[in-house]
Amino acid sequence: MSATDDDALLDLDHRTGWPADLRVLLERYPREVWEEHPNLGDLSRFWLGRHDMFRELNTGLLSAADQLKAGTVPAEAFRTWFVPRIQFFLRELHGHHMIEDHNYFPMLTATEPRLARGFEVLEGDHEMIHTGLLSLQEAGNGLLQALAGPKDRVQYAADGMSDALSGFLKSLHRHLGDEEDLIIPILLDRGEGALGH
């Protein structure tokens, strides 16, 4: 297999986890041991908590969009609930990626150069996710405009938002899970000093 084929298999829409060469530490520190490991410190727990928050928020936004689509929630109640949460989601996720790209990934790559390719893949994910965030933003603006208009326009915009959020959720789950599988084993092996703490 050529490097290009291999890279394509590792992009966010195609991969189904890490290949063997990027699982060297994960084999030694599988998920089952994380919770009890003495090196799982406050920073790691905080970071895992942020990931859980992003998963829950995406799921909550999707369920709200589906309720609007099904007509089980009034448009105005939906808008009041949805707007601050999607804005928070977009802003926080963007900030989270900035810290990872500029701080965590370079430090972790220097700590464990064998996993450098994994961090390049994760950075590529961030770019794809950023494009997804822009589409969500656009779908959000379209939906807000539609809420003030006729019912069929609301239906069309709600369908678009539901599709955008469910596609995004799938990519986000893949990214967060793989990121944890790459990073937590390094932190358990070396301690949180690997993140400059």
> Which positions touch Fe ion (CB under 5 A)?
100, 179
The least CB distance from residue 176 to Fe ion, in Å, is 6
User: Between residues 100 and 181, which has the closer beta carbon with respect to Fe ion?
Assistant: 100
User: CB–CB of 39/191 below 8 Å?
Assistant: yes
Q: How far apart are CA 146 and CA 184, in angstroms?
A: 43
Shortest Å, Cβ 71 to Fe ion: 35
CB of 166 to Fe ion, least distance (A): 20
Residue whose CB is less far from Fe ion, 65 or 108: 108
Handedness of CA 141, 143, 145, 147 (dihedral sign): negative
Nearer Cβ to Fe ion, position 50 or 153?
50
What three-state secondary structure class fits 149? coil
Check if the beta carbon of residue 54 is closer than 8 Å to that of residue 89: yes
How far apart are alpha carbons 6 and 29 in whole angstroms? 25
Tokens, residue 51: 């990931």
Q: Which is nearer to Fe ion, 6 or 52 (CB)?
A: 52
Closest approach of Fe ion to the CB of residue 47, in Å: 7
- In angstroms, the CA 163 to CA 174 distance is 17
